[in-house]
Amino acid sequence: MPISTKTRTRFAGRVVDSQGRGVYGLDLKLRHPVSGVERRVRSDLEGRFGLAVFGGQWTLSSDEHSLVWAAARLGTGPLYLPKATLSVEDGVDLEKTFVLAQRP
Q: Show Cβ contacts of residue 20 under 8 Å, excluding neighbours closer than 6 positions.
A: none
Q: What is the pLDDT of residue 1?
A: 43
- Please list the rounded mean pLDDT of every run of 10 residues in the chain (104 residues): 68 93 94 94 96 94 94 89 92 94 81
Q: What is the pLDDT of residue 83?
A: 86
Do 29 and 91 form a contact (C-beta atoms < 8 A)?
Answer: no
Compute how many other C-beta atoms are within 10 angstroms of the C-beta atom of residue 57.
12
Q: What is the pLDDT of residue 4?
A: 59
Q: What is the pLDDT of residue 103?
A: 79
**Measured at the alpha carbon of residue 37, what is the angle toward residues 33 and 38, in degrees to the nearest 5?**
95
d(C-alpha 86, C-alpha 72), whole Å: 28
13-102: CATH number: 2.60.40.1120
